[in-house]
Homo-oligomer: A and B are copies of this chain.
């Protein structure tokens, strides 16, 4: 006993979203229902529910009566997403730094520590744990803004982060030491409650990542 039974719907949602973000499902390709039915072991209706959800988040394109496609990628789209991420994440950061309490600080310290450990391993050459690194990066960025006091903002940011991540995974080349140092500086500025400086550093971090990814596309 124990593991709480997930519904078929939610687990296929996770799987397909994962496969889009990590590039197993290639941009622009058609998601033929009968074909992916066998791949993901779910019925047509269940798949349609999933694909409709992913469509309204923007990972899938739903063409009326013509089926579903993995959303295309483009440099323009990436630039839009990066800019939006800057806008929302910096805004959230400033609000979070202003109102974060001790729990927030504790959580942030923990998230930064875990990310740093992971980054050391990756800089040392262990690239095997791409997915774990991704999780720690996410947890760090979330920890910074978590005290922004706006569920709506965090929800929007979460989707943008995933879209940005998809592009990073598409051309995966680890920025290594550079990104690690940026994370560290953001961490320090946030912890010392310097919201303006932290936001400046965060913006540079995202834009550096953008340029790194654009160059590799």
Cβ A155 vs Cβ B58 within 8 A: yes
Stretch of A83-91, A111-119, A182-190, A195-203 with 4 or more beta carbons under 8 angstroms from chain B: A83-91
With contacts A7-B65, A48-B45, A87-B91 taken as known, whether A152 is within 8 angstroms of B81 at the C-beta atoms is yes
Q: Count contacts on A: residues with CB < 8 A to the other chain.
A: 28
With contacts A7-B64, A57-B56, A58-B155 taken as known, whether A150 is within 8 angstroms of B84 at the C-beta atoms is yes
Residue from B53, B56, B80, B153 within 8 A of A84 (CB atoms): B153
The answer to the question of A52 belonging to the interface, with a C-beta cut-off of 8 Å to chain B, is yes
Cβ B10 vs Cβ A77 within 8 A: no
Chain B residue numbers with a CB within 8 Å of A83 are 150
Cβ A84 vs Cβ B156 within 8 A: yes
The answer to the question of A55 belonging to the interface, with a C-beta cut-off of 8 Å to chain B, is yes
The answer to the question of A49 belonging to the interface, with a C-beta cut-off of 8 Å to chain B, is yes
In the assembled complex, the Cα of A57 lies from the Cα of B56 at a distance in Å of: 7
With contacts A45-B48, A48-B45, A48-B49 taken as known, whether A64 is within 8 angstroms of B10 at the C-beta atoms is yes
Chain B residue numbers with a CB within 8 Å of A53 are 52-53, 55-56
The answer to the question of A3 belonging to the interface, with a C-beta cut-off of 8 Å to chain B, is no
Binary CB contact string for chain A from 45 to 63 against chain B (1 if under 8 A, 0 otherwise): 1001110110111100000
With contacts A45-B48, A49-B48, A53-B56 taken as known, whether A152 is within 8 angstroms of B87 at the C-beta atoms is no
Could you write out 30 A-B pairs with CB less than 8 Å apart?
A: A7-B64, A7-B65, A10-B64, A45-B45, A45-B48, A48-B49, A49-B52, A50-B52, A52-B52, A52-B53, A53-B53, A53-B55, A53-B56, A56-B56, A56-B57, A58-B152, A58-B155, A77-B151, A80-B150, A80-B151, A80-B152, A80-B153, A81-B152, A83-B150, A84-B150, A84-B152, A84-B156, A87-B87, A87-B91, A156-B156
